[in-house]
């Protein structure tokens, strides 16, 4: 199924409002064990900060939170995940903060907490969440009477594949959930118990990120340690 997802990205047909694979409460993420470059399957459009605000660096104080809102769109039935990526002064590597879907179709939101002074560079990344896509397909197959066994098999294979790349408690978790998935009875309740919040949170770190893309735009934030709100700011 993972190979099928990859093949489908080579022939995108339609663009749809994004389907969310995660909640706004998803914990901060780190670079995935494996990510696959985007073939422009996913579109990212900044909403906040606005284009006018992004023309020059934003000005904020240490400790403030900067809201980030984007619209995401993707072809097919893939489930998406996304994060804010940012680089703080004096550090060469990017850091990450979660974006979560909202009640507005295609709209995602998050916030960046400013912990130090200096100039930040900020952008957004989005990707096809393979785990969430296979989970959704399995639940949909059970609901519609499609080939649910094939969908379960693809999800089971993916969990075992990620377990082989994991260590310690993560490996044990993935093996245990894979075994529970193929037990009987096979119904939506079982799938939801297997793919609970604990597993979903770990798959943010361990899962494959297919068709990852970074927004073509970025913006900067000048962060001051002093009190602001005056004419110079």
pLDDT (tens, 9 = 90+) of the chain, 233 residues, equals: 444 444 443 333 334 455 666 444 444 444 444 444 444 589 999 999 999 999 999 999 999 999 999 999 988 888 999 999 999 988 889 999 999 999 998 999 999 999 999 999 999 999 999 999 999 999 999 999 889 999 999 999 999 999 999 999 999 999 999 999 999 999 999 999 999 999 999 998 898 888 899 999 899 999 998 754 443 44
pTM above 0.85, yes or no: no
- Strand, helix or coil for residue 39: coil
Alpha-carbon distances, residue 29 vs 37, 160, 204 (angstroms): 18, 22, 7
Number of CB atoms found within 10 A of residue 65's CB: 12
Residues 6+ apart with CB under 8 A from 219: 46, 49, 53, 54, 57, 58, 121, 122, 123
Query: How far, in Å, CA of 207 to CA of 163, rounded?
Result: 10
Cα 125 from Cα 135, distance rounded (Å): 22
What DSSP state is assigned to residue 18?
P
């Amino acid at each position: 199924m993972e190979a099928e997802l990859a093949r489908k990205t080579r022939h995108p047909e339609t663009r749809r409002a994004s389907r969310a694979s995660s909640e706004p409460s998803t914990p901060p993420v780190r670079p995935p064990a494996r990510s696959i470059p985007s073939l422009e399957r996913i579109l990212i459009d900044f909403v906040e900060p606005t284009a006018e605000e992004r023309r020059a660096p934003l000005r904020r104080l240490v400790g403030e939170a900067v809201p980030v809102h984007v619209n995401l769109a993707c072809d097919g039935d893939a489930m998406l995940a996304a994060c804010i990526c940012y680089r703080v002064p004096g550090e060469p590597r990017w850091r990450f903060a979660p974006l979560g879907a909202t009640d507005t179709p295609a709209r995602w939101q998050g916030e960046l907490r400013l912990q130090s002074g200096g100039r930040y560079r900020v952008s957004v990344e989005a990707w096809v969440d393979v785990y969430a896509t296979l989970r959704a397909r399995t639940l949909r197959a059970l609901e519609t009477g499609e080939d649910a066994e094939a969908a379960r098999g693809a999800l089971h294979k993916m969990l075992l594949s990620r377990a082989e790349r994991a260590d310690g408690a993560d490996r044990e978790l993935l093996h245990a959930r894979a075994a529970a998935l193929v037990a009987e009875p096979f119904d939506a309740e079982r799938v939801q118990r297997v793919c609970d919040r604990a597993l979903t949170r770990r798959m943010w770190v361990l899962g494959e990120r297919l068709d990852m893309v970074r927004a073509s735009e970025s913006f900067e934030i000048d962060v001051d340690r002093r009190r602001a709100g005056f004419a110079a700011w």
